[in-house]
Amino acid sequence: MKRIAIFGAGVAGQDILKEINQDDDMNYDVLGFLDDNIQIWGKKIINTLVLGGRSKISELRKSKKLDEVIIAIPSADGEQISEIVKLCSQVKVGFRIVPRVKEIIEGRAHLQTLREVKVEDLLGRPVVKADVEELKDFFTGKTVLVTGAAGSIGSELSRQISAYSPEKICFFDWWENGLFELQTEMRRDFPKLKAEYIIGNMQDKLKVDREMKRIQPDYVYHAAAYKHVPLMEDHPDEAVKNNVFGTLNFIKAAVINRVEKFVLVSTDKAANPINAMGITKLITEGLAKIYNGKTKFMAVRFGNVLDSFGSVIPTFRKQILQGGPVTITDKRMTRYFMTIPEAAQLIIKAGVIGNGGELFVLDMGKPVKIIDLANNMIRLSGFIPNKDIKIIYTGVRKGEKISEKLFIDKESVMTHKEGKIFVTKSMGLDINKLQSRLSKLKDLATSGQKTDLVRELKSLI
């Protein structure tokens, strides 16, 4: 019989206890509640004693051979959950969690909803609920094009937009395997969806022009980009050719083909950029502003998304599975994080509320220390940091910042009435200078003059 303690003596914890009590075949021995509210320590709730707070976990492991803690505090913030996970990990006690309040669509907490603790639980970010009817109206009868559709953000945008039943949706990407996997998934999950899957490189202007003319999309969600900072530091010419001029191909084609709305997916690395990738994304924000008119262009800027391809979390996960070490560039390193579904929801929302010319910045919450993220992931895997799995520091990589900003110092920012979205019309870029320098940028990138190209990029900020 598994000996458990329920952390949280509120409604969710009581629901779990009632369900255990009602099933005689349940193989659980509930030792008691744990709760940080000192006022209820020593009291009985549903004939079950509140044993104390989080410090009791170690004592219960020794005295009662505690096997598992069920974390039943759906409204808790990430720091609270992280501390409980840390205490459980230290004494080799298992742990599961009741999903956050908004993950439980309706009704009570149930045993079958219990799941493993995820990294996003430790960030303390609330789940965004979309206005389903508003979004259905927005996409009804519309043809949508998603670029970079096989990527982390692009594929989630594709899933969510498809769920709102547009007239037609087209998926554009150069990555054949990724697009094939997306096609397989979409045909399974949305069998009635009218969809096209287009293999193409956005640097191929003739291909972009031909497909845009044929498709005649109403909305374009442009998620295609090179994004890895150190690689783009080594190859700034490719960053410019792809991120700047590949995007410009789609922007010009959108204007010619009278696209209604064009949403550019950007990055926090475009704020006070110190690397080639960030500068190229800042330039694309500027291009969206230059071409805004009958076609409504808007950019959406946000930080790192959890578990995206090539991001720190799958890297850490792989290192942990291999037994370590987990590598971090610098102990001071911080980053903003949000989940992929949340990022996609807010990008879609920005397209709904945008009137053209805006730079939307998603509310990323508080920046997260990468060392804390690594420690938490090691604990979630059942190990103790720097005992079972070592953490080593490798030094800041070329083009990296210790911390990121979502806005530059000169940008005037307003909170949008929708919440979770800030809006600014400042770009942190000289638009007139950009227009006069595009041909020079193209020549330098095409000829591979990397040193001169980087100098030119930095002169635009």
For residue 114, count other CB atoms closer than 10 A to its CB: 16
Closest listed residue to residue 138, CA positions, set 160, 166, 162: 166
3-state secondary structure at position 37:
coil
Residue type, 443: D
Residue type, 214: R
Q: Which of 241, 269, 281, 401 is catalytic?
A: 269
Report the interhelical angle of 340-353 vs 132-139 (nearest 10°): 60
CB 428 within 8 A of CB 434: no
CB 433 within 8 A of CB 458: no
Backbone dihedral region for residue 47 (phi beyond 0: left; psi -120 to 50: alpha; all else: beta): left
Give the span between the Cα atoms of 421 and 294, in whole angstroms. Answer: 24
CB 368 within 8 A of CB 120: no
Give the span between the Cα atoms of 461 and 456, in whole angstroms. Answer: 10
* 213 is annotated as an active-site residue: no
Positive or negative, the CA dihedral 15, 21, 23, 28 is: positive
Give the span between the Cα atoms of 111 and 95, in whole angstroms. Answer: 13
How many residues are there in the chain? 461
Q: Which residues contact 335 (CB under 8 A, 6 or more apart)?
A: 303, 304, 312, 367, 368, 370, 403, 404
Give the span between the Cα atoms of 121 and 377, in whole angstroms. Answer: 11
Q: How far, CA to CA in Å, does 88 sit from each of 61, 120, 376?
A: 9, 18, 12
Q: Which helix (H) or strand (E) holds 452?
A: helix 450-459
For 93, the token pair is 């006690």
- For the chain, state the CA radius of gyration: 25
Beta-sheet pairing, 195-199 with 168-173: parallel
DSSP secondary structure, 316-329, as one string: HHHHHHTT--EEES
Active site residues: 269
